[in-house]
Structure 1
Amino acid sequence: MSIRQLLQVLWRLLGYIRPYWKIVLGALLLTVVVTTARLSQAKFVGLIMGMMSQDSFSYSDGQDPFMRLNLICLAFLAVMAVMGASTYFQRYTIDLGGQQAVRDFRGQVFSHLQRLPMAFFDSMRLGEIHSRASNDILLSTTIYMALSDFIKNLLVVVACLTWMFYRDWQMTLVVLLISPLVGTAVANFGKRMGQRSEKLQARLADLSALLYENISTIKVVKAYTREDFETRRFACRNEDNFAAQMKLVQVSAIQSPVVELLGAFGIVAIVWFGATRVMQGQVTFAQMTEYWTLMVMTSHPISALSGFYGTANSAAAAGRRVFEIMDMTPEVAEPEGALELPRLQGAIDFESVHFHYDPEKPVLRGINLSIRPGEVVAVVGGNGAGKTTLVNMIPRFYDPVSGSVKVDGHDLKEVKLRSLRTQIGTVIQESVLFGGTIDDNIRCGNPTATDEEVLRASKLANAHEFIERMPDGYQTEVGERGLRLSGGQRQRIAIARALLRDPRILILDEYTSGIDAESENLIADAIARAMEGRTCLVIAHRLNTIRHADRILVMAAGQIVEEGRHDQLMARNGIYSRLYEAQLREPLYTSTETEVLA
């Protein structure tokens, strides 16, 4: 990362703390107080050394030297007390501003993630997203505290050098001539630490992605006895992370002794030069002691300053990974004056729709389709035929590469997203619930719904009976992703959630997959009632469940290759009839399946 890129990333990170400039200003003023108090230590040492000299430690001026010594020590303790209190408040205020900036940064990243297109989540691993939105944010925001320490240490160094120059400009020139050696080493180490830190963050993201994948598929891992294989795979990634971490540690570990060794050469040269000047009578021992005290006081701040460049590089490397997400365009841009959709009738039109994720692999090719309000349309086809992509165009999860999708004659690109999506209900193959209560999850469909409306939606979805049997009824906690409930129970809650918003368009995507026969019967009955008076699109693998659809679309290679009612398609002896007859020979269906769309 170049210096220019480093500064650009750091400037963006500092943008999150600028709203709290008053807090930062207060911390800076306290830093000045702490620095002044710290510098006074050298003056106290000089005064005491002066009193201990043969000429000064006497009653010749009529003052009691012991009383003067006591006053100096008491003043020193008072200054140290002020410094301690100021250090506490300085640390607290800068942490207050920094933590507020971290909170805002994390909130903006999360909010931005909610608005990114589905294509982003299709292309980036979930573990990678998690790593950038958590680990990288924490690492990047270490710059706030590091910068506070940098300013404090810089003030100490500048103030000490100024005082040193005032006391003995010749000695200070020697110090300044030696400093570039240390500065060159610091810059070199900082650059290397930044490069290795960026590689380490990438390895951490790989590790996080693998961990997330493993935990989310743990049932499959156990079912196929892949524990040993997964352990070896994790060990391999873990070893890569360890190697990247140790490369960073190597650079970090060698930085301090090298800088300290160079500093030691400088100190020896300065002490020798100063001792020579004392022996030659050019300065007093007390003055040189004060000077050396100032020089010693700069050693720790200079060492800390040497580490700042590496910290800044690490923070910038992490920050750049986060800003790569922040710079991504939100899912869809609503035009100025976008239309607020009225209550929909449910007509849907696809006009010459083309779509691809990869330009060389078209997913939808020239789709022309008109769906009447209240019509039930089933979509079938093999894997990769484009079924899910087709229905995902309706809530505008994706925009066509060319062509247009319309509802009630309105181009989706010209309407407000919220007014569209609030009129669409979706029930997918594996309905995911959110952590919270059953009531919370049903209300996802309409947060402002009354208790009576929630109850009505639950009864329509055949969910009310099993909810009432729960220990806490509608206030029962469902657990993470709803894992405390069975698959059939989760699916019925998902149907209730969809019905609560009273959608004009209902999308059903493999909604009976993996459900037991008893639950399927209840779900089939709930779906049949849910379809009444609504435009419905059903993606189905089990063709028996869509026999009574108003229209069936058969898709292959991103095109609609057959279209009609079940009996019409069977009479053609085409793709649909061959699929249907092949499935009939498989003992996979129950007698209730054919009633889903009856």
Structure 2
Amino acid sequence: MPRREHKPEQDKLRYRDLLRVYKVFGSHYKSYWRQLALAYCGMLCNVFITLLLPWPLKLILDYVILQHPLPQEAAFITRWLGTEPLTLLLALALSYAFLHLLDSFVSFWHKVGMLMVGVRMKNEIRQRIFGHLLRLSLSYHGRARGGDLAYRLTSDVQRLPALLLSLPQSFFYRIFVIGSHISLMWAMEWRLALVAFSVIPILSYYQRRIGLGLQKASRKKRNKESDVTSMIAENVTAMALVQAYGREDTQQQRFQSENRQSLEFGLSAMKLSKLFKRTSDILVALGTAGVLYYGATLAWSGAILPGTLVLFASYLRKLYSPIDRFASLLLDAAQAQVAADRLIEVVECDMVIKDAPHAITAPPLQGRIEYRNVTFAYDTGGDVLRNVNLLVTPGEKVAVIGHSGAGKSTFVSLLLRFYEPQQGAILIDGHELQDFTVKSLRAQITVLLQDAKLFKASVRENIGFGKLEATEEEIMRAAQLAQAHEFIMQMPQGYDTLISEGGDNLSGGQRQRLNIARAIIRNTPILILDEPATALDAVTEAKIHEALEELTKGKTTFIIAHKFSTLASANKILLLEKGMPAACGTHEQLMAISRTYRELYELQLAPQQTLDEVNGGRWAETAPA
């Protein structure tokens, strides 16, 4: 996927973009509003209990140890517990333990509730993005990097709950904690409260300055990690090429360079975070020292009780803690916003082939196909196809040939509506493709690619992928027609044998025969064959051709031809030259009228004739007189 140009303003905390994140992913809150409401109730209870926690300590110090008389507001304690100091001490100690127990319970209630929502929401968002990727057109996937998309669906999605759940939760928690503690501290002793609050503006300013650097370093780190992931995926899939060309050291050096840059950006973000933490610790210590000094002078002069200073010291820790941890919150928010921006790029991408408003479900198709003045160009260049006209009757086999880059693959991709032509129309049974829904149209077309794509699943599941409701008998019948049943039964678990990723535990011929079995069981009226017998030995190729004969019986078939041996069964041949139909007819007709066709034929035929002559000469030399 092409990376957007980086701009300096992207490194600032962009509140408009934050709102955009909540707008795009906010619908996922609806499924969990009850769990979220309970979790936020737990959070409010936790804040309230936090305010009560240090009060037993104040009461023990002031009214049990120092024997000060209880204020009028606390007279109810003596009515309940009497005036015996030991009884009061025991009751206050038990209340302190009970408050801690209650605090642990509501904290568990709140945090586990948020974590469960986060895990489920993350899974739901990943499912949504993966589903959207499946619907995006090949124009998008042709530009996207596989490793980058995988990184977005794994690492970037992992970061999203920090923005959708942790950030608003932390924001409201800090509002409640700071507001309640400031109010109570001001009510208790406003002069001491002013000393405590004097550090807050300095902390806030410093956090904002450091936050911008954290955002910038985080963005660079995640973009570089995406590059590293793409390089890993690229080299793993091309490992045979790397080793065959002896480029292990070169690729290792490339990876080392990318990995080092990722490390440097990560260390930069970590250093900024730790620098802020240490500086904020110093500021908090200064604020606490000021409160202790001034509070002690007030207690010494009798203006406040010593227990009040204990309360302030406890409240200071709770007051400064949300501000002190704002650095880590900024870092998480910065990383999550970068990740969310990258996910939104995918979610808001509209490169999807959509159904027309009037589209209907395609009825059973006969297979009459017509291209009318079709012209198509990719976004990156000029026309790939120009003014293509072709009529194919039901059951007819058409071979499409031409030099590399002539537009053969694009020609059949338009039939599948992987792309839309800029001019002209394609008709099936007299209806334009847009008259049918994409899903119902593709359900009646089978594609057999040169590179047989197999999933990491059993043989049975790979064949049944062509027809999800297929019976065991249908699967075995398809395998027999595809000349695959025999080698399947020789595998360790037969049809239950697990195929490794990409079919690496099978030969090329075996993979292709399973591919053909999957196409046979699909049984659609239209077939597209992208030279499925290329790069196979003669014996295997003969078996593949037998299987293809079974597959194509009575079906409208397009054959992307690279070898002239494939053309034998074609009723007509379409020759494309620089995106335009140069000639159309039978093999004999094209040999007579098309110079390009004759050149293509002779290029393939000459080496074979030479080989036959050499083999024939050797046979003559060794044959008995």
User: Fold match, TM over 0.5?
Assistant: yes
Residue among 351, 366, 380 paired with 2:387: 366
Query: How far did 1:79 drift?
Result: 1.2
Aligned with 2:50: secondary structure? helix
After superposition, residues 132-211 of structure 1 pair within 5 angstroms as 132-143=152-163, 144-211=165-232
After superposition, residues 526-541 of structure 1 pair within 5 angstroms as 526-541=547-562
Matching residue of 2:494: 473
Residues 318 and 359 (structure 1), Cα distance of their counterparts in 2 relative to 1, 3 Å cut: closer
Distance 2:19 2:330 in 1: 11
Residues 263 and 402 (structure 1), Cα distance of their counterparts in 2 relative to 1, 3 Å cut: farther
Matching residue of 1:16: 28
| Alignment of 1:46 onto 2:58 | yes
TM-score by length of 2: 0.90
Distance 2:291 2:93 in 1: 29
Aligned with 1:485: secondary structure? coil
CA contact (8 A) 1:435 1:481 kept: yes
The AA in structure 2 aligned to 1:515 is: L
Structure 2 runs not aligned, ≥5 long? 1-9, 71-77, 613-625
Matching residue of 1:288: 309
Matching residue of 1:27: 39
Query: How far did 1:252 drift?
Result: 1.5
Matching residue of 2:269: 248
Residues 42 and 543 (structure 1), Cα distance of their counterparts in 2 relative to 1, 3 Å cut: same
The AA in structure 2 aligned to 1:201 is: R
Structure 1 runs not aligned, ≥5 long? 592-598
| CA-based RMSD | 2.2
The AA in structure 2 aligned to 1:93 is: G
The AA in structure 1 aligned to 2:50 is: R
Distance 1:371 1:53 in 2: 102
The AA in structure 1 aligned to 2:124 is: D
CA displacement 1:325-349 (0-9 Å, x = unmatched): 0111252111224121111111111
How many residue pairs match? The answer is: 589
Distance 1:14 1:280 in 2: 56
The AA in structure 2 aligned to 1:111 is: G
Matching residue of 1:595: none
After superposition, residues 208-219 of structure 1 pair within 5 angstroms as 208-219=229-240
Q: Which moved more, 1:358-367 or 1:563-572?
A: 358-367
Residue among 590, 602, 605 paired with 1:581: 602
Matching residue of 1:357: 378
TM-score by length of 1: 0.93
The AA in structure 2 aligned to 1:412 is: L
Distance 2:413 2:381 in 1: 21
Matching residue of 1:113: 133
Query: How far did 1:268 drift?
Result: 3.3
Query: How far did 1:522 drift?
Result: 0.5
CA displacement 1:316-369 (0-9 Å, x = unmatched): 110110111011125211122412111111111112222122253221122222
The AA in structure 2 aligned to 1:202 is: N
Distance 1:57 1:65 in 2: 12
Matching residue of 2:90: 70
Matching residue of 2:146: 126
Distance 1:89 1:573 in 2: 79
Query: How far did 1:3 drift?
Result: 2.1
Matching residue of 1:596: none
Residues 170 and 14 (structure 1), Cα distance of their counterparts in 2 relative to 1, 3 Å cut: farther
Residue among 260, 285, 302 paired with 2:281: 260
Residue among 483, 487, 502 paired with 1:462: 483
CA contact (8 A) 2:450 2:532 kept: yes
Distance 2:228 2:379 in 1: 27
After superposition, residues 517-528 of structure 1 pair within 5 angstroms as 517-528=538-549
Query: How far did 1:392 drift?
Result: 0.7
| Alignment of 1:315 onto 2:327 | no
Distance 2:576 2:273 in 1: 58
The AA in structure 1 aligned to 2:135 is: R
Distance 1:358 1:296 in 2: 59
Query: How far did 1:576 drift?
Result: 0.9
CA contact (8 A) 2:147 2:233 kept: yes
| Alignment of 1:386 onto 2:407 | yes
Matching residue of 1:5: 17
| Alignment of 1:417 onto 2:438 | yes
CA contact (8 A) 1:190 1:307 kept: no
Q: Which moved more, 1:489-498 or 1:297-306?
A: 297-306
Distance 2:49 2:609 in 1: 83
Distance 2:183 2:607 in 1: 90
CA contact (8 A) 1:551 1:565 kept: yes
Query: How far did 1:227 drift?
Result: 1.2
CA displacement 1:39-60 (0-9 Å, x = unmatched): 22221221122136544399xx
Aligned with 1:16: secondary structure? helix
Identity %: 30
Aligned with 2:574: secondary structure? strand
| Alignment of 1:224 onto 2:245 | yes
CA contact (8 A) 1:153 1:305 kept: no
Aligned with 2:53: secondary structure? helix
CA displacement 1:472-529 (0-9 Å, x = unmatched): 2222211222222211111111111111121111111121122222211100111122
| Alignment of 1:328 onto 2:340 | no
The AA in structure 2 aligned to 1:44 is: P
CA contact (8 A) 2:203 2:323 kept: no
CA contact (8 A) 1:463 1:496 kept: yes
Residues 359 and 401 (structure 1), Cα distance of their counterparts in 2 relative to 1, 3 Å cut: farther
CA contact (8 A) 1:373 1:534 kept: yes
Aligned with 1:585: secondary structure? helix
Distance 2:360 2:167 in 1: 48
Matching residue of 1:559: 580
The AA in structure 1 aligned to 2:193 is: T
Query: How far did 1:238 drift?
Result: 0.8
Distance 1:22 1:209 in 2: 40
CA contact (8 A) 2:218 2:331 kept: no
Matching residue of 1:499: 520
CA displacement 1:521-562 (0-9 Å, x = unmatched): 100111122222111111121123214421112212211112
The AA in structure 1 aligned to 2:44 is: V
Residues 10 and 418 (structure 1), Cα distance of their counterparts in 2 relative to 1, 3 Å cut: closer
Q: Which moved more, 1:143-152 or 1:424-433?
A: 143-152
CA contact (8 A) 1:154 1:301 kept: no
Query: How far did 1:146 drift?
Result: 4.9
Distance 2:31 2:286 in 1: 44
The AA in structure 2 aligned to 1:80 is: H
Distance 1:248 1:368 in 2: 59
Distance 2:201 2:311 in 1: 24
Aligned with 1:393: secondary structure? helix
